[in-house]
């Protein structure tokens, strides 16, 4: 067990709430958030609150919230998207299950691929790990093709590179040379620790 962590009821280490999140042991991860139904901003805030309240996760920062046109299936309302930087001691599959639980608690209903959703939480990056499991791929397989994912991620971590070594900011510039392809506005997303 890493210094500064303790075992929880499940036997897995927890983040020490007395330490600043950036000093917490664990893996640096990025979570993508999206919503295009109902009170979209409220769903995003609820998702961040769910992350903040989860043992084994420390929320470091959130990006601004970006409003973007739909991707894939276009006949739906605009999305609000954001990214969250966390440190976690949860294993990747535990983190995925946690995100699905938060989605469920917030009332997400399964519809169809690329369809409208109350809330969508995706593991974008889990440290530098490459994960390929049925239905769970990290880095998220299409993230480097989506401005609405790259813009908030680049706001939090402009030093990142794509799997082929392209700087994240260059990838964003390539996809959105004028800085406005799908981003309609950016507003701050606040949360309480």
How many Cα atoms are found within 13 Å in the side-chain-facing hemisphere of 149?
21
Annotated catalytic residue within 6, 28, 39, 122: 122
**pLDDT surpassing 60 at residue 12:** no
Determine contact, residues 174/156, Cβ cutoff 8 Å.
Answer: no
Query: Could you confirm whether 122 is annotated as catalytic?
Result: yes
Confidence at residue 110, expressed as pLDDT on a 0 to 100 scale: 77
pLDDT at 135: 80
| Residue tagged active-site, from 40, 108, 170, 174 | 108
What residue spans define the domains of the chain? 6-188
CATH code of the domain made up of 6-188: 3.30.70.560
Q: Specify the pLDDT at position 139.
A: 84
Mean pLDDT confidence for 20-30: 76
* Catalytic residue check, 192: no
Q: Is the pLDDT of residue 22 over 80?
A: no
**Would residue 108 show up in a list of annotated catalytic residues for this protein?**
yes
Higher-pLDDT residue of 90 and 8 is 90
The 3-class SS string of the chain reads: CCCCCEECCCCCEECCCCCCHHHCCCEEEEEEEEECCCCHHHHHHHHHHHHHCCCCEEEEEECEEEEECCCCCCCCCCEEEEEEEEEECCCHHHHHHHHHHHHHHCCCCCCCCCCCCCCEEEEEEECCCCEEECCEEECCCCHHHCHHHHHHHHHHCCCCECCCCCEHHHHHHHHCCCCCCCEEEEEECCCCC
Rounded to an integer, the average pLDDT of 74-96 is 87
Give the pLDDT of residue 165: 84
pLDDT tens by residue, 113-170: 656 778 989 999 999 888 888 888 888 778 888 888 898 999 999 999 877 788 888 9
What is the average pLDDT across 82-88?
A: 94
**What's the confidence (pLDDT) of residue 70?**
64
pLDDT band at residue 85 under the 50/70/90 scheme: very high
**Catalytic: which of 40, 45, 117, 146?**
117
Give me the catalytic one of 113, 120, 128, 134: 120
128 an active-site residue? no
pLDDT per residue as tens digits for the range 38-68: 888 889 999 999 999 999 999 999 988 888 7
pLDDT in tens, 98-116: 999 999 999 767 755 656 7
């Amino acid at each position: 067990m890493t210094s500064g962590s303790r075992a929880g009821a499940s036997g897995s280490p927890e983040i020490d709430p007395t330490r600043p999140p950036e000093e917490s042991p664990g893996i640096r991860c990025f979570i993508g958030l999206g919503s295009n139904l109902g009170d979209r901003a409220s769903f995003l805030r609820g998702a961040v609150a769910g992350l903040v309240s989860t043992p084994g996760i420390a929320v470091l920062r959130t990006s601004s919230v970006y409003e973007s046109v739909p991707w894939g299936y276009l006949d739906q309302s605009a999305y609000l998207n954001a990214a969250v930087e966390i440190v976690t001691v949860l294993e990747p599959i535990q983190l995925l299950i946690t995100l699905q639980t938060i989605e469920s608690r917030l009332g997400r209903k399964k519809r169809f691929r690329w369809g409208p959703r109350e809330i969508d939480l995706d593991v974008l990056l889990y440290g530098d790990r490459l994960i390929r499991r049925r239905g769970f791929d990290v880095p998220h397989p299409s993230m480097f093709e989506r401005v609405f994912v790259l813009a908030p991620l680049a706001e939090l971590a402009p030093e990142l590179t794509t799997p082929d070594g392209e700087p994240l900011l260059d990838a964003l510039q390539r996809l959105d040379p004028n800085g406005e392809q799908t981003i309609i506005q950016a507003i701050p997303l606040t949360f309480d620790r």
